[in-house]
């Protein structure tokens, strides 16, 4: 009996062991079968998804922290073709809410391309419209009988950022814009496109929650802080618009720069565009150089260039402020007769008188006295004919013909001295003149004040481009220019502040001849003279109320300078001197 029981137990043990082994063998067989390999392969297709992470584009602020360019959420609206129940309802809803074409939507849903399960019907839809559609989808779903899908089932919403400019057209010529493809055009947006956009990252993202820590952290684009003051920019744009209207000009530019470090404080130009409607670019501008004429439109500046000629003459020792000269009203240079702007002789003049009365003959005399080598060497050192290096996209270099060039003639030595036959941009004039306002040192104009990335702020230091003249020459010339403005009771004078500057009235060449009725009126000035904190350049294109820079650009300079002193908290000279005396 006992043995029989033992045998049964043993048999049962073997059976159980066999079943256990069979289960294990079967498990191994299934796991290593061809079907298992197929299933594993199928599963692996869902284990990871390839995703591209696009970091948010960096924001742009003005020097006081006002947002000039940010991001806002817009929606891509598409259809999951596998889930669509009513293509007609979807096409109708989109037509009513977004104004999209009904038939286009129907065709896209009903006749999709092969192997496509998702169709985009609209993109860059604003949040409000997308929300309306989402609510409509929910309402239809709630109204549908139980177990039946709503009419907009399959409609899908994907949020993504889009560039937004809260200030609209303000500083549009400085900022530039970003297209829907995410590429920056013009200004800061193009110049710092790589920094702002950040680096997109393409990764295989595990769907397994146990591997959630593998989700990459993609840093956003770098935020930029500009040197521009929003309020000063707004004032500059308003003053420019009023000046263009009052003087009947076709266009204009006002640039405000700190001559001590090259920080651009304001840069207004016309025309401007609402950056949120960048697609209107083609209707507003006929070519790229019109977007920001302050840096990309070279023109003959006329008499404002005389300050550079005088600086060269003073620094080279050719003349002193007291050097006298007898103005006969004309001079022959390179076989061509050069005359004063009024075609009249001005008699005995000193160098301050030359500047005060803006005598072409005097300037041509100075340049010929210096000789082509010295004169063009100074002009080259001032940066004429070279890019300034301003950190805005689309800068033009202008043109300074020099002896040896095929199109240079001896008369150019005379005409270049008073700003004819030479093409410069406003930013070049500002950079060149900064050496006079900044103790002989030329500053590189720039719009970027700092970059913010990964919680750290990197400030951009001032850059200098050389010292074409001495500190003493700069001081002497500044005093001469200030005195000449005061002597003629210029409209550029600013009550309470001593300023230095020079007008320019340049006739515009038409069909190879200078048209006396069409001029570029300009003014370059800076102040306060004893401690220059702003430098302003005004350019009015073809003013019809008066052709003279002294009657159009000069008062615009004064108005801009007044606003600058208010907005930058620059006290009048007497108060500053009181403060300095303490």
Partner 1 sequence: MNIPNVTHFIHAYKVAPWRIQRQWIGNALLAVVTLAMVATLYLDVTAKAAIAGREIQDLNAAILASQQASADLQTDLASLTSASVMKERALELGFRPMIPEEAEYLIVPGYAAPRPVILVTAPLPQMSAPSIPPEYNESLLDWMDEKIAMSAKGIQ
Query: In the complex, which residues of this chain contact partner 1 (CB under 8 A)?
Result: 2, 6, 9, 56, 59, 61, 63-67, 70-73, 127, 159, 161, 164, 166-168, 170, 208-215, 217, 223, 225, 227, 230-231, 233-234, 449-450, 452, 454-457, 459, 495-496, 562, 565-566, 569, 571-572, 575, 579, 582
What is the closest distance, in whole angstroms, from the C-beta atom of residue 6 to partner 1 in the complex?
Answer: 7
Whole-number minimum distance, CB 128 to partner 1, in Å? 11
Least distance to partner 1, CB of residue 23, Å: 14
Helix (H) or strand (E) holding 80: strand 67-80
**Helical H runs in 266-329?**
281-284, 293-296, 306-315
- Residue nearer to partner 1 on the CB measure, 213 or 513: 213
Cβ 80 to partner 1 shortest distance, Å? 19
Nearest to 429 by CA among 266, 249, 559, 299: 299
Contact between 269 and 293 under an 8 Å Cβ cutoff? The reply is yes
Q: Minimum distance from CB of 581 to partner 1 (Å)?
A: 12
Based on CB atoms, which residue is closest to partner 1, 223 or 349?
Answer: 223
The least distance separating partner 1 from the CB of residue 121, rounded to whole angstroms, comes to 22
Q: Which is nearer to partner 1, 9 or 26 (CB)?
A: 9
Q: Are 174 and 266 in contact (CB under 8 A)?
A: no
Looking at the Cβ atoms of 540 and 561, the one nearer to partner 1 is 561
Given the complex with partner 1, which of 155 and 265 has the nearer CB atom? 265
DSSP states along 482-509: HHHHHHTT-TT-BTTB--EEEEEEEEEE
DSSP code of residue 575: H
Nearer to partner 1, 102 or 458 (CB): 458
Residues near 201 by Cβ (< 8 Å), separated by ≥ 6?
A: 52, 53, 216, 218
Q: Is 301:522 a contact under the CB 8 Å cutoff?
A: yes
* Pick 337 or 575: Cβ nearer partner 1: 575
Element (H, E) at 516: strand 513-527
Find tokens 């409509």 and name the residue. Answer: 136
Q: CB-wise, 148 or 215, nearer to partner 1?
A: 215
Q: How many whole angstroms separate alpha carbon 501 and alpha carbon 419? A: 15
Three-state secondary structure call for residue 540: strand
Q: Residue written as tokens 């061509």?
A: 336
CB 305 within 8 A of CB 430: no
Q: Alpha carbon of 400 to those of 306, 384, 418: distances in Å? A: 15, 6, 13
CB of 513 to partner 1, least distance (A): 43
Instruction: Identify whether the C-beta of residue 272 lies closer than 8 Å to the C-beta of residue 307.
Output: no
Hey, is 39 helix, strand or coil? Answer: helix
Name which of 430, 35, 63, 409 is nearest 231 in CA terms: 63
Cβ at position 524, least distance to partner 1 in Å: 21
Q: Which is nearer to partner 1, 122 or 266 (CB)?
A: 266
Residue with tokens 């009052």: 246
Q: Please state, as a whole number, how many other Cβ atoms lie within 10 Å of the Cβ of residue 342.
A: 12
Nearer to partner 1, 457 or 472 (CB): 457
Taking the least distance from each CB to partner 1, the nearer of 274 and 290 is 274
- What are the beta bridge partners of residue 504? 522
Q: In a 3-state reduction of DSSP, which class is residue 560?
A: helix
Least Cβ distance, residue 44 to partner 1 (angstroms): 18
Question: How far apart are alpha carbons 555 and 532 in whole angstroms?
Answer: 19
């Amino acid at each position: 009996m006992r043995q029989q029981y033992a045998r049964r137990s043993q048999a049962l043990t073997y059976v159980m062991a066999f079943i256990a082994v069979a289960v294990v063998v079967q498990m191994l067989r299934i796991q290593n079968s061809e079907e298992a390999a197929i299933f594993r392969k199928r599963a692996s297709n869902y284990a990871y998804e390839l995703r591209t992470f696009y970091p948010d584009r960096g924001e742009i602020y003005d020097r006081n922290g006002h947002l000039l360019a940010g991001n806002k959420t817009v929606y891509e609206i598409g259809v999951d073709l596998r889930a669509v129940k009513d293509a007609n309802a979807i096409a109708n809803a989109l037509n009513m809410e977004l104004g999209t074409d009904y038939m286009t939507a129907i065709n896209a849903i009903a006749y999709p391309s092969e192997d496509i399960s998702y169709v985009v019907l609209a993109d860059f839809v604003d949040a409000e419209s997308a929300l309306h559609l989402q609510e409509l989808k929910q309402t239809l779903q709630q109204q549908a009988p139980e177990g039946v899908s709503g009419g907009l089932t399959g409609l899908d919403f994907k949020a993504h950022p889009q560039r937004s400019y809260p200030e609209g057209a303000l500083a549009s010529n400085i900022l530039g814009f970003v297209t829907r493809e995410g590429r920056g055009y013009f200004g800061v947006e193009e110049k710092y496109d790589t920094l702002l956009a950040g680096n997109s990252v393409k990764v295989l993202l595990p769907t397994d929650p146990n591997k959630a820590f593998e989700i990459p952290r993609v840093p956003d684009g770098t935020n930029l802080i500009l040197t521009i003051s929003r309020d000063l920019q707004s004032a500059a744009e308003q003053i420019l618009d009023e000046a263009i209207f009052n003087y009947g000009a076709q266009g204009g530019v006002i640039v405000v720069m700190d001559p001590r470090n090259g920080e651009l404080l304001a840069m207004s130009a016309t025309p401007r565009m609402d950056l949120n409607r960048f697609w209107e670019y083609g209707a507003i501008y006929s070519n790229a150089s019109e977007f920001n004429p302050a840096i990309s439109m070279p023109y003959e500046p006329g008499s404002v260039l005389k300050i550079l000629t005088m600086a060269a003459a003073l620094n080279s020792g050719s003349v002193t402020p007291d050097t006298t000269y007898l103005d006969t009203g004309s001079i022959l240079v390179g076989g061509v007769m050069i005359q004063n702007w009024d075609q009249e002789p001005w008699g005995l003049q000193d160098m301050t008188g030359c500047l005060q009365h803006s005598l072409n003959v005097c300037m041509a005399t100075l340049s010929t006295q210096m000789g082509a080598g010295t004169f063009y060497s100074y002009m080259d050192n001032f940066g004429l004919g070279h890019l300034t290096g301003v950190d805005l996209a689309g800068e033009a270099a202008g043109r300074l013909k020099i002896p040896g060039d095929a199109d240079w003639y001896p008369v150019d030595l005379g005409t270049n001295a008073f700003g004819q036959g030479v093409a410069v941009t406003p930013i070049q004039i500002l950079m060149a003149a900064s050496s006079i306002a900044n103790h002989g040192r030329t500053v590189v104009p720039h719009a970027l004040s700092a970059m913010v990335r990964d919680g750290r702020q990197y400030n951009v230091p001032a850059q200098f481009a050389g010292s074409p003249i001495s500190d003493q020459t700069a001081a002497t010339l500044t005093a001469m220019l200030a005195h000449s403005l005061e002597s003629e009771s210029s409209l550029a004078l600013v009550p309470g502040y001593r300023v230095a500057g020079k007008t320019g009235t340049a006739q515009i060449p038409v069909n190879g001849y200078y048209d006396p009725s069409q001029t570029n009126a300009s003014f370059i000035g800076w102040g306060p003279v004893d401690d220059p904190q702003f430098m302003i350049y005004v350019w009015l294109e073809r003013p019809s109320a008066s052709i003279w820079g002294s009657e159009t650009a000069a008062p615009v300079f004064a108005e801009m300078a007044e606003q600058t002193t208010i907005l930058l908290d620059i006290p009048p000279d007497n108060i500053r001197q009181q403060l300095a005396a303490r």
